[in-house]
Amino acid sequence: MKFTHLADCHLGGWRFEALKKLNMESFKFAVDFTIKNKSDFMLVAGDLFDSAYPRIDVIGDTFEQFKLLKDAKIPVYLISGSHDYSASGGTFLDLLEASGMCINVGNHNVEEEISILLPPTFHGDDVAIYGYPGRKSGLELKHLKRTYIEDNDKLKNLPRCKDKFKILMIHSTITDVIGTLPIESVDTKYLPKANYYALGHIHVKFEKIENGHTFVYPGPTFPNNSKELRQLRHGSFQFVEVDEHHKIKTESIDIPANEVLLIEHMIKNPRNAYTEVFELFSDLDVEDKIVILKLSGNLIRHQLQSIKFDEIRRHLKEKKALVFLHTTSAINTVAESGDIDFSVKNCKDIEKKVFDEYFKDNPHSFNKNHQSLLIALMTEKEDKETKTMYADRIIKNVSKALDVDEKYFFN
């Protein structure tokens, strides 16, 4: 038996038409690979679409690919993810399923306060597929610890699953993959026992084999934002082969994509920033490339506004670049130049310099907590971090800055 495992396609997610098209082309590559390699079936572990209600052109292109799979007699089993999930219950995944293009194995009702028995979807005589959908803000996590699958009489009127190859599809975060990220997760020991765990939601390649159980995040089929383009450069999916003894062999398949040209530049002459940036592209070959400009440095506000990114975009388009993206998040901006020392490279160092000078001249109006409190309040929300976790982290940091007990904020 062999199958392909996709996740986090996010079709329709990019606002740039060139990247939206490249995203769809990456999905088409995975479909073509699945057909050419005669996979028995395809798994999509959530976030096929970037929203529950994608644009009509995205729907049309997606249906066309699913039709190719159906004509090749390759069934698609999927679950909804945190993006294409809808609390109201209706999404375009339902339309795909109603058209006979796929089977949503996570489309079942659950009762909130009791254990959740996941019903199997059978592929032939040898495979039982189970699924639990992703939800907004990681709300599926509290349910996952209560899910279970059974291979005994509790399945009532269903074929026994004991000797079948079991696949569990989940769109969520397992603890092994998060590293130091401050996000909620579920330990794999709480998950129902399966041979293969088709995971989605975290946009990285990850594989873990433990006691005969294989856990896989295949990565997105195409990067979903500028940061992912810089880090991943292209998409991927998993090709899985299983022998008669249920021994699993996996292979990560990289999806070809246009070259990403990353230019990281620190502004050296703030008063002539636009010319300095524009000249970065004078001798570069950008044809058919995704050009990403990441700027850093210290600028006063009007100097940043003087960098005409639209003109740079038009210039690169004339040079046949596929698309131009830019980020200025690493630039430190201030309202006026005043006496700012532009040799200071770090925003926090600038703040410390200002605080130290003001505290020296105004010892009674400022105290030692002001800078640390400001830094605590400027804490940014991490990707995948829930609002509750973010608020708890802010409170913890503020408590530390003010040297008070966290309980103070709840009294």
**pLDDT tens digits along 329-364:** 889 877 665 545 545 555 566 666 666 665 665 655
Domain finish residue from 254, 273, 294: 254
Q: Which two tokens stand for residue 327?
A: 């980020």
Lowest mean pLDDT among 151-155, 178-182, 284-288: 151-155
- Let me know whether 241 and 389 are in one domain: no
- Binned at pLDDT 50, 70 and 90, residue 177 comes out as very high
pTM to 2 decimals?
A: 0.80
Phi-psi sector, 10: left (phi>0), alpha (psi -120 to 50), beta: left
Which of 227, 254, 281 lies at the terminal end of a domain, its last residue?
254
Q: Which of 52-66, 167-181, 344-358 has the lowest mean pLDDT?
A: 344-358
Q: Is residue 46 part of a domain?
A: yes
pLDDT in tens, 105-120: 987 665 556 778 888 9
Q: pLDDT of 291-328, one tens digit each?
A: 999 999 988 878 888 999 999 999 999 999 999 999 99
Distance from C-alpha of 329 to C-alpha of 18, rounded to nearest angstrom: 23
In a domain, 157, yes or no: yes
pLDDT value of position 401: 67
In terms of domains, do 264 and 215 share one? no
Q: What is the mean pLDDT of the chain?
A: 85
Q: Do residues 14 and 62 both lie within one domain?
A: yes
H or E element: which one contains 178? helix 175-178
CATH assignment at residue 30: 3.60.21.10
Report yes or no on 86 lying in a domain: yes
Count CA atoms within 13 Å of residue 362 on its CB side: 9
- In sequence order, which ranges of 12-152 are alpha helices (DSSP H)? 17-36, 56-71, 92-98, 141-144
Of the residues 233, 254, 275, the one at which a domain ends: 254
Whether residue 103 is found in the same domain as residue 132: yes
pLDDT score recorded for residue 92:
86
Could you write out the DSSP letters of every residue in 9-26? Answer: --BT--SSHHHHHHHHHH
Determine contact, residues 169/105, Cβ cutoff 8 Å: yes
User: Both 314 and 290 in a single domain?
Assistant: yes
- Is it the case that residue 249 has pLDDT exceeding 90? yes
Dihedral angle of Cα 222, 41, 199, 19, to the nearest 10 degrees? 10
pLDDT at position 411, please? Answer: 45
Number of domains in the chain: 3
pLDDT at 386: 62
CB contact at 8 A, 23 and 323: no
Does 159 score more than 60 pLDDT?
no
3-state secondary structure at position 291: strand
Does residue 158 have a pLDDT over 60? Answer: no
Confidence of residue 70 (pLDDT cuts 50, 70, 90): very high
d(CA 158, CA 272): 73
- Residue 355 belongs to a domain: no
Give the pLDDT confidence score for residue 339 in this predicted structure.
47
Indicate the helix (H) or strand (E) that contains 392: helix 387-402
Q: Are residues 65 and 203 in the same domain?
A: yes
% of the chain with per-residue pLDDT over 70:
78
Most confident of 136-145, 222-231, 341-350: 222-231
Alpha helices of 261-386 — where are they, by DSSP H? 273-278, 301-305, 309-318, 347-361, 370-377
For residues 156 and 266, state if they share a domain. no
pLDDT at 145: 80
Same domain, 221 and 268: no
Other CB atoms within 10 Å distance of the CB of residue 114: 8
**Taking the CA atoms of the chain, what radius of gyration do you get in angstroms?**
25
pLDDT in tens, 192-212: 999 999 999 999 999 999 999
Q: In this structure, are 190 and 280 located in the same domain?
A: no
- Residue 161: give the domain boundaries: 2-254
**Do 314 and 165 fall within a single domain?**
no
The more confidently predicted of residues 107 and 43 is 43
The alpha carbon torsion through 195, 216, 38, 54 (nearest 10 deg) reads 120
* Strands, E assignment, 73-115: 76-79, 103-104
**Nearest residue to 47 (alpha-carbon basis) of 22, 73, 79:** 79
**46 versus 365: which is more confidently predicted?**
46
Does 163 have pLDDT greater than 90? no
Give CA torsion, residues 52, 56, 59, 64, to 10 deg. 170
Task: Indicate whether 276 and 336 sit together in one domain.
Answer: yes
Q: Is residue 353 part of a domain?
A: no
Using a pLDDT cut of 90, give the percent of the chain over it.
58
Q: Tell me: do 239 and 304 sit in the same domain.
A: no
User: Is 128 a domain residue?
Assistant: yes
Question: Pick the residue with more confidence: 342 or 146?
Answer: 146
- The token duo for 101 is 């293009």
Of the listed ranges 97-101, 147-151, 176-180, 401-405, the one predicted with least confidence: 401-405
